[in-house]
């Protein structure tokens, strides 16, 4: 089968060599304080079910879902709840968090394992996914049980495993595909079993030939599951582009993947679905890539959630040189933050540390209308104009030129030879435009 | 290590290596084959004219920025590109002072007064060329070759004569400094395409539309000598690859580029077939430059996955 892809996109320096051959290693937190933000997902924040002074076990629920579109939070250690207070998270804001003093014993609760996950009813499966705190672990954090309960389950034709990992430098999904392939396929089978007519597709970029080969081999006897190699291009892993590449169907900003008969979940999410359904085990750890030219020993770690990123950097040998910039997530869409005192949340897949902040040296200059942003934009809109309209407060023109279709992938700013902050400008007005649309 | 603050910025945190300056440098490199051929063809006087024009453009921008207390922008090399392009449009016999006036006009009147790089609505080099064609018609259209004043192939074709298309491809014909050699121009254009600076959407549709136009309306039908002569003659190739593709003055939308190319082909055809002069590329490009906002307005892309809204029929309207 040939390579599929979408129109537009760019090919930034990959940088995956630094950590792609490093096996996933488990690590334990050094600092005793564990931090569990109550919002690690899209939707209502979770409501704490513990209070200061309570003792908790590893795997115990410490906050329950705050609504249907919400997700519970679990402790990854045993210890004592110290307090509940706002703490800074990777995206930069302060989020109310449960602070737990780790007693170092890692006393674990008993999980309710089932022998055959396929003997469960649909409702039971969804309940177990929900109770496992599973959300989109690629970064968006949309509660997975909501995604898996679309309005018309009969119309779902494809469950797409987003194995693109198109962000440069990140290798956590890559390592999981190689090392956790059985769980990944198990999660896929469970998701496919929920929908009578659905096929499971692993969409993998062709810069990961070993993953393509491995998953092809492991799924060769599965009639409903296949591997679709994709062209390596950013943002191949953006949901709309992934759906188009795999199925040829298009969705826009006001549609859900389910409107095109698709459900898209990333690698880590499907593994978490398997853990939750088969073993009854909630999300209490995740794979995190620590890399960048400032890191002594770039690695992939399996880290308990709530661990401080400072501990992870130490585990990776610390910094060779003081980094100028650290990024939570990939270099295209990740969040730059000023501190390492950030807890690992469900959606934090990487920490990058660079000795040079290459964007700081650039000063924006006049747009020369070269159209590179237009040709690269995966949403097929005109970023340079939209940025103008945003800077000049012209919401009417912004809407006329389709600004809400932006996916904020950063591609336009990446290619801009005038070094304009296109993505930033569009993002800021898009918020207003989206709010307006909701009002209508 | 503790509490040392690190840089914070919005995503993305990496950038492509191409900057405005680098793109301009690519354009200059791509113009070198045509420039060198022009100097070889017309002699050292051509080189001097080119240098004077570039100096005039760069100095105009530099001085204007100082006078108006604007940030210095000459390092983006766009003034060099303008100067070079303008000089390639001069006949070699032009009096020395005219390029100085032309360069200053291109930069100050056509570019800076409208807001500088990125804001000008017509190509500065072509704007200045047309200004000079009107103001100094004689010197601007006096073509000498090997010391003898002679007619350009386009002018000969207008008189109904056949032309030596082989010499037109090579470029050993009378004309402006940089427009004569089709081969040198195409080599430069290929550099631009390979470096990702331009693509064929504008020049391709321009040339194809123009060809169709002359087949239909020139009265020469499929006369290959006439068609090749028209394509290789005058400023068509230089204009199509280096001036119509000017970023600032061409549509930014993908469909708009196609429409723009078609408009160029048709207007060039009209000017050459039915106008009073043999040449029409410069006027055609600046005329279409003025159409750009209109073209863009009609070609606003809908966005990925957005389907055209069907107009609600009478009863359904909420």
User: Which residue has better confidence, B239 or B277?
Assistant: B239
**What pLDDT, on a 0 to 100 scale, did the predictor assign at position A397?**
94
Is pLDDT of B8 > 90? no
Residues 1 through 20 of chain A touching chain B, CB cutoff 8 Å:
10, 12-13
Per-residue pLDDT tens digits for B39-81: 999 999 999 999 999 999 999 999 999 999 989 999 999 999 9
Statement: the pTM of the whole predicted model exceeds 0.80: yes
Residue B233 binned pLDDT confidence (cut-offs 50, 70, 90): confident
| Helices B20-42 and B78-88: angle between axes, nearest 10 degrees | 20
Order the strands of the A47-48 sheet from edge to edge: A47-48, A61-64, A73-74
Burial class from Cβ neighbours inside 10 Å (0-12, 13-18, 19+) for residue A130 reads buried
CA distance A105 to chain B (A): 28
Please give the CATH topology (third level) of the domain spanning A120-279: Rossmann fold (3.40.50)
ipTM of this complex? 0.89
**What pLDDT, on a 0 to 100 scale, did the predictor assign at position A257?**
93
Residue A37 contacts residue A23 (beta carbons within 8 Å): no
Task: Compute φ and ψ for A98, nearest 5 degrees.
Answer: -90, 125
Is pLDDT of A161 > 80? yes
CA distance A335 to chain B (A): 7
Is pLDDT of B311 > 90? no
CB-based contact, B255 to chain A, within 8 Å: no
CB-based contact, A236 to chain B, within 8 Å: no
Inter-chain CB proximity A417 and B18 less than 8 Å = yes
Q: A419 to chain B: which residues are within 8 Å by CB?
A: 15, 19
**What pLDDT, on a 0 to 100 scale, did the predictor assign at position A436?**
86
Is pLDDT of B317 > 60? no
Per-residue pLDDT tens digits for A293-348: 999 999 999 999 999 999 999 999 999 999 999 999 999 999 999 999 999 999 99
**What pLDDT, on a 0 to 100 scale, did the predictor assign at position B309?**
61
Q: What average pLDDT does the segment B281-306 reach?
A: 93
Per-residue pLDDT tens digits for A31-85: 999 999 999 999 999 999 999 999 999 999 999 999 999 999 999 999 999 999 9
CB-based contact, A149 to chain B, within 8 Å: no
How is chain A split into domains, by residue range?
A: 120-279, 372-439
CB-based contact, B308 to chain A, within 8 Å: no
CB-based contact, A355 to chain B, within 8 Å: no
CB-based contact, A75 to chain B, within 8 Å: no
**What pLDDT, on a 0 to 100 scale, did the predictor assign at position A196?**
86
**What pLDDT, on a 0 to 100 scale, did the predictor assign at position B1?**
45
Per-residue pLDDT tens digits for B134-172: 999 999 988 888 778 888 888 888 888 888 889 999 999
CA angle in degrees (0–180, nearest 5) for B305-B310-B315: 145
**Taking the CA of residue B163 as centre, how many other CA atoms within 13 Å lie in the half-sphere pointing to its CB?**
30
Phi-psi region of A334 (alpha: psi -120 to 50; beta: other; left: phi over 0): beta
What is the DSSP secondary structure assignment for residue A338, as one 8-state letter?
Answer: S
Residue A28 contacts residue A58 (beta carbons within 8 Å): no
Per-residue pLDDT tens digits for A344-399: 999 999 999 999 988 888 989 999 999 999 999 999 999 999 999 999 999 999 99
Tell me, letter by letter, the H, E, C secondary structure of A171-232. Answer: CHHHHHHHHCHHHHHHHHHHHHHCCCCCEEEEEEECCCHHHHHHHHHHCCCCCCEEEEEECC
Is pLDDT of B315 > 60? no
Those residues whose C-beta lies under 8 Å from the C-beta of residue A204, and which sit 6 or more positions away, are A163, A164, A177, A211, A212, A215, A227, A228, A229, A230
**Closest residue in A to B10 (Cα–Cα):** A424
List the single residue in B3, B117, B300 with the smallest CB-CB distance to A368.
B117
Q: What average pLDDT does the segment A147-174 reach?
A: 93
Is pLDDT of A419 > 90? yes
Please give the CATH topology (third level) of the domain spanning B20-147+159-298: Ammonium transporter fold (1.10.3430)
Q: Which of B8, B12, B244, B309 to mutate to test the interface with A (most CBs of A within 10 A)?
A: B12
**What pLDDT, on a 0 to 100 scale, did the predictor assign at position A169?**
95
Residue A271 contacts residue A136 (beta carbons within 8 Å): no
CB-based contact, B318 to chain A, within 8 Å: no
Q: How far apart are CA B197 and CA B34, in angstroms?
A: 17
CA distance B20 to chain A (A): 5
CA distance B218 to chain A (A): 35
CA distance B214 to chain A (A): 31
Q: Residue B45 to residues A393, A406, B98: CA-CA distances in angstroms?
A: 52, 53, 14
CB-based contact, A305 to chain B, within 8 Å: no
Inter-chain CB proximity A332 and B15 less than 8 Å = no
Per-residue pLDDT tens digits for A111-131: 999 999 999 999 999 999 999
Residue B313 binned pLDDT confidence (cut-offs 50, 70, 90): very low
Q: Which of B2, B3, B5, B6 to mutate to test the interface with A (most CBs of A within 10 A)?
A: B6
| Range with the poorest average pLDDT among A160-174, B1-15, B39-53 | B1-15
């Amino acid at each position: 089968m040939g390579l599929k892809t979408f129109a537009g996109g760019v090919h930034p320096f990959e940088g995956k060599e630094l950590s792609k051959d490093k096996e996933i290693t488990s690590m334990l937190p050094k600092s005793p304080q564990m931090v569990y933000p109550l919002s690690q997902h899209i939707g209502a924040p979770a409501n704490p079910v513990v209070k200061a002074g309570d003792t908790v076990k590893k795997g115990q629920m410490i906050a329950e879902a705050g609504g249907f579109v919400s997700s519970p939070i679990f402790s990854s250690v045993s210890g004592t709840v110290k307090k509940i207070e706002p703490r800074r998270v990777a995206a930069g804001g302060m989020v109310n968090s449960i602070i737990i003093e780790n007693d170092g014993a890692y006393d674990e609760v008993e999980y309710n394992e089932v022998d055959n996950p396929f003997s469960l009813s649909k409702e039971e499966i969804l309940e177990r996914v929900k109770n496992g705190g599973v959300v989109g672990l690629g970064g968006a954090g949309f509660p997975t049980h909501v995604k898996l309960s679309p309005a018309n389950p009969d119309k779902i034709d494809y469950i797409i495993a987003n194995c693109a990992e198109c962000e440069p430098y990140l290798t956590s999904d890559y390592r999981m595909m190689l090392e956790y392939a059985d769980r990944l396929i198990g999660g896929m089978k469970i998701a496919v079993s929920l929908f009578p007519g659905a096929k499971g597709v692993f969409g993998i970029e062709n810069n990961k030939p070993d993953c393509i080969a491995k998953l092809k081999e492991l799924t060769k006897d599965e009639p409903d599951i296949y591997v679709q190699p994709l062209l390596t291009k950013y943002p191949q892993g953006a949901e709309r582009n992934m759906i188009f590449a795999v199925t040829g169907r298009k969705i826009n900003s006001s549609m859900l993947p389910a409107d095109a008969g698709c459900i898209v979940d990333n690698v880590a999410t499907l593994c978490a679905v398997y853990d939750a359904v088969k073993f009854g085990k909630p999300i209490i750890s995740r794979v995190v890539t620590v890399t960048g030219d400032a890191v002594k020993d770039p690695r992939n770690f399996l880290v308990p959630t709530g661990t401080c990123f400072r501990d992870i950097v130490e585990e990776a040998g610390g910094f060779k040189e003081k980094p100028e910039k650290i990024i939570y997530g990939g270099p295209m869409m990740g969040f730059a933050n000023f501190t390492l005192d950030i807890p690992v949340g469900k959606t934090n897949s990487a920490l990058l540390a660079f000795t040079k902040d290459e964007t700081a040296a650039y000063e924006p200059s006049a747009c020369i209308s070269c159209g590179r942003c237009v040709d690269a934009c995966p949403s097929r809109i005109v970023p340079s104009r939209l940025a103008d309209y945003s800077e000049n407060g012209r919401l009417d023109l912004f809407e006329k030129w389709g600004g809400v279709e932006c996916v904020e992938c950063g591609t336009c700013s990446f290619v801009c030879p005038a070094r304009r902050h296109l993505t930033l400008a569009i993002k800021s007005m898009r918020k207003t435009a989206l709010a307006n649309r909701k009002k209508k | 290590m503790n509490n040392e603050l690190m840089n914070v910025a919005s995503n993305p945190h990496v950038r492509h290596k191409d900057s405005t300056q680098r793109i301009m440098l690519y354009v200059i490199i791509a113009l070198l084959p045509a420039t060198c051929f022009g100097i070889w063809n017309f002699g050292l006087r051509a080189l001097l004219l080119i240098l004077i024009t570039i100096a005039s453009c760069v100095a105009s921008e530099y001085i204007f920025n100082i006078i108006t207390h604007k940030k210095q922008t000459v390092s983006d090399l766009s003034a060099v590109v303008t100067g070079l392009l303008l000089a390639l449009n001069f006949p070699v016999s032009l009096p020395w002072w005219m390029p100085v006036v032309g360069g200053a006009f291109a930069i100050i009147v056509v570019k800076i007064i409208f807001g500088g790089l990125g804001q000008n609505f017509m190509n500065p080099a072509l704007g200045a060329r047309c200004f000079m064609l009107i103001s100094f018609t004689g010197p601007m259209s006096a073509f000498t070759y090997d010391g003898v004043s002679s007619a350009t192939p386009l002018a000969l074709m207008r008189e109904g004569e056949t032309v030596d298309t082989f010499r037109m491809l090579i470029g050993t014909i009378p004309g402006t400094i940089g427009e004569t050699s089709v081969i040198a121009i195409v080599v430069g254009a290929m550099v631009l395409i390979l470096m990702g600076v331009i693509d064929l959407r504008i020049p391709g549709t321009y040339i194809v539309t123009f060809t169709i136009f002359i087949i239909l309306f020139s009265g020469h039908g499929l006369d290959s000598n006439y068609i090749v002569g028209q394509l290789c003659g005058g400023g068509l190739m230089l204009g199509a690859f280096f001036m119509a593709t000017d970023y600032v003055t061409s549509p930014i939308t993908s469909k708009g580029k196609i429409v723009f190319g078609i408009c160029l082909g048709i207007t060039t055809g009209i000017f050459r077939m039915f106008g009073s002069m043999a040449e029409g590329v410069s006027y055609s490009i600046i005329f279409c430059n003025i159409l750009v906002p209109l073209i863009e307005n009609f070609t606003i892309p809908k966005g990925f996955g957005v389907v055209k809204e069907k107009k609600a029929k009478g009863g359904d309207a909420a």
